[in-house]
């Protein structure tokens, strides 16, 4: 059984000039212990999907339709107090900038202990002992001393380790990690990714890893969902999506990654830009940029279709496909 089920999720932003649809019919499942990567250009809707699952959509954004179920329980229609209990206890969150996740006025120990006491039936002494163990598990040396330090006394990589410890504090079943390595040096990125994999394996937590870095996805995830203009363009096992992309957009992303084995002066690029929310093209949203576009692409919008080991929202994989590629 899936730990998380997102069914036909639609997120809208009402405004004076009409309603903008930022997420359009998103459906994903995450199994216990699985790491699902969510990748795409800026503006694709990756972070918005995570925010909707955590229940932290910025007003006036709202879930217009669809369902989000955690362990079979619907959570998208819960009130603020009920969602606050689930957030932390069952869903942990790791954000891009650890400075915005940590309160500069409190020691990291105070913040960890407060989170543990809020969600677990333990004493203050037990909570502090658990906080020290979490800091040790996340690779912070001398945790007995560091627990009483303030966030500004930690480096960027160490702060992100504290945030991971904070996300794991109440033993959640699911962790939503939104660009957890973007602000870090490449060498520190590798350490954090390795840490995230190991700690989640030990604690049995599932992870939704949101990033724009295909290298991080390839190194970390079991499956990957490629997003474009608020929809899922392709979803499947990481190895299949990276090596045999079924959607032209995924193929374009893969071709844009530098290849150390080839001698090229110029990188491949995808012409054009992601469409604005108020100017999503009719049919497939990718059709103005697609090198394989044909007449049906401009008329009808494809659902996710079977494409070998993956599923892709592309008419090239329709059984009744009669189009001729341009």
**323 lies in some domain:** no
pLDDT interval class at 324 (50, 70, 90):
very low
pTM of the predicted model as reported, rounded to 2 decimal places: 0.92
Domain identity same for 288 and 213: no
- Domain assignment present for residue 246? The answer is yes
Question: Number of C-alpha atoms within 13 angstroms, CB side, residue 319?
Answer: 1
**Predicted confidence (pLDDT) per residue in 162-190, tens digit:** 999 999 999 899 999 999 887 788 888 88
Please indicate, yes or no, whether residues 54 and 188 belong to a single structural domain of this protein: yes
**CA angle at residue 213 from 209 to 219, to 5 degrees?**
70
Measured CA to CA in angstroms, residue 26 lies from 58, 176, 193 at distances of 18, 16, 26
Higher-pLDDT residue of 208, 265: 208
Percent of the chain with pLDDT over 70: 98
On whether both 31 and 84 belong to a single domain, the answer is yes
- If asked whether residues 209 and 237 sit together in one domain, one would say no
Mean pLDDT of 271-299: 94
Q: Within this chain, do residues 70 and 118 fall inside the same structural domain, yes or no?
A: yes
Q: How many structural domains comprise the chain? A: 2
Task: Tell me: do 247 and 202 sit in the same domain.
Answer: no
pLDDT digits (tens, 9 = 90+) for 137-168: 888 999 999 999 999 999 988 999 999 999 99
pLDDT at position 321 is: 55
Percent of the chain with pLDDT over 90: 68
> 325 lies in a domain?
no
Average pLDDT over residues 27-48: 94
Q: What is the mean pLDDT of residues 37-60?
A: 93
pLDDT in tens, 62-78: 999 999 999 999 999 99
**Is 66 a member of any domain?**
yes
Q: Could you tell me if 217 and 233 lie in one domain?
A: no
**324 inside domain:** no
One domain, residues 167 and 238: no
Domain boundary among 221, 248, 279: 221
325 burial level (CB within 10 Å; 0-12, 13-18, 19+): exposed
- Return d(Cα 75, Cα 82) in angstroms, integer: 9
Residues 169 and 205 in one domain: yes
Please give the residue range of the domain that contains residue 298. 228-260+268-317
Residue 323 CA to residue 296 CA, distance in Å, equals 7
Tell me, what's the pLDDT at 325?
41
223-228/35-39 β-pairing: parallel
Residue 275, in any domain of the structure: yes
Domain final position from 221, 236, 252: 221
Per-residue pLDDT band for 214 (boundaries 50, 70, 90) equals confident
Helices (H), the chain: 46-54, 80-89, 98-101, 108-119, 124-137, 143-146, 156-168, 186-203, 214-220, 238-243, 248-255
Domain holding 12: CATH number? 3.40.50.300
Question: Do 216 and 109 lie in a common domain?
Answer: yes
């Amino acid at each position: 059984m899936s730990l998380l089920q997102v069914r036909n999720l639609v997120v809208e932003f009402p405004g004076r000039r009409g309603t903008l649809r930022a997420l359009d019919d998103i459906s994903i499942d995450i199994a216990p212990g699985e790491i699902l990567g969510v990748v795409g250009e800026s503006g694709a809707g990756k972070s918005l999907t995570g925010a909707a699952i955590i229940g932290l959509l910025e007003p006036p954004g709202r879930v217009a339709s669809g369902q989000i179920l955690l362990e079979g329980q619907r959570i998208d229609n819960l009130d603020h107090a009920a969602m606050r209990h689930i957030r932390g206890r069952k869903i942990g969150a790791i954000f891009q900038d650890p400075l915005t996740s940590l309160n500069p006025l409190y020691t990291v120990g105070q913040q960890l202990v407060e989170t543990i006491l809020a969600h677990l039936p333990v004493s203050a002494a037990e909570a502090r002992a658990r906080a020290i163990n979490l800091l040790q598990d996340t690779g912070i040396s001398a945790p007995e001393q560091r627990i009483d330090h303030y966030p500004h006394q930690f480096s960027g990589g160490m702060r992100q380790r504290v945030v991971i410890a904070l996300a794991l504090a109440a033993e959640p079943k699911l962790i939503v990690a939104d660009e957890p390595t973007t602000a870090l040096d490449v060498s520190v990125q590798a350490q954090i990714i390795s840490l995230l994999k190991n700690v989640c394996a030990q604690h049995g937590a599932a992870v939704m890893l949101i990033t724009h870095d295909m290298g991080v996805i390839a190194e970390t995830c079991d499956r990957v969902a490629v997003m474009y203009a608020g929809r899922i363009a392709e979803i499947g096992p990481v190895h299949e999506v990276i090596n045999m992309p079924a959607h032209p957009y995924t193929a374009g992303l893969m071709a844009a990654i530098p290849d150390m084995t080839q001698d090229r002066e110029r990188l491949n690029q995808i012409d054009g830009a992601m469409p604005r929310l108020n100017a999503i093209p009719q049919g497939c949203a990718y059709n103005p940029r697609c090198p394989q576009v044909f007449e049906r692409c401009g008329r009808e919008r494809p659902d996710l279709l079977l494409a070998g080991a993956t599923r892709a929202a592309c008419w090239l994989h329709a059984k009744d496909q009669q189009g001729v590629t341009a």
